[in-house]
Each structure stands twice: as C-alpha cells, then as structure tokens.
Structure 1
C-alpha cells in the first residue's frame, strides 16, 4: 500500500502556494478593480497564514 506516501498538503503549504499564485497574478495586473480584489485576497491569505502559525505554535494554551 502506497496511499500513505501521497499525503495531502498542509494548510500552511496550501496558503504559501496560494500566496505565490496571487503575487504572480498581481505582477501581471494593472490598476483597477481586479488588482484591488487580488490585494484583498493576498491580505486574507497573509492573515490566515499568521493565524495558522499561531494556532500551530507549541506555546498556545487553551483559555481558562
């Protein structure tokens, strides 16, 4: 069985790939509403990355 070798990418890996894709698309887009939406999505992905890092940190403790 080789199913375990084909593991799914982690959330962090998917976010990094999405950020790269958005940055590439952003570099090819001029001013306008499409660029504004790409920048908004890029900020959302960046925020999600930071939240994921925070939730994955070993120092995170449940609230009392």
Structure 2
C-alpha cells in the first residue's frame, strides 16, 4: 500500500492566500493589457474571495444552525 507524503505547512492558509494574491497582482502589473493579464487578475480575485470566505468561516460570530 502506498503511503502519502505528508508535511506540515509552515504558514497558515490565510497567509498563503494573501501572499499568492500579492504575487499574482505583481505579475499582472508587469504584463500589458490582454488575456494573460486578465487571467492573472481573475485568479487573484478568486484567491482574495477565498481568503475572505476563510475569515468568515473562522469568525466567532458565525453560529451553527439551530
């Protein structure tokens, strides 16, 4: 049976998403307007939304259904 290679992440999901958003935005700023730049900006927006969703799910104000 194959064993999965597992490792602990050094950074939290929130930190990794934030760093990825910043990296994608920097890459997009170096490109001229066009489909490649739009794709990078779309991925950055999606990662930013994922970051906000993660904050929302982990918030203490979120209550379980009753």
Q: Same fold (TM over 0.5)?
A: yes
User: 1 or 2, which has the higher helix percentage?
Assistant: 1
Q: What are structure 2's unaligned runs of at least 5 residues?
A: 1-7
Q: What are structure 1's unaligned runs of at least 5 residues?
A: 1-5
The RMSD of aligned alpha carbons is: 1.5
TM-score, normalised via structure 2 length: 0.80
Once the two structures are superposed, residues 9-58 of structure 1 have per-residue CA deviations (whole angstroms, 9 ceiling, x without a partner) of 11100001101101110110111110110111011011001101101111
Return structure 1 stretches of 4+ with deviation > 3 angstroms: none
Q: Which of 13, 23, 29 is 1:11 aligned to?
A: 13
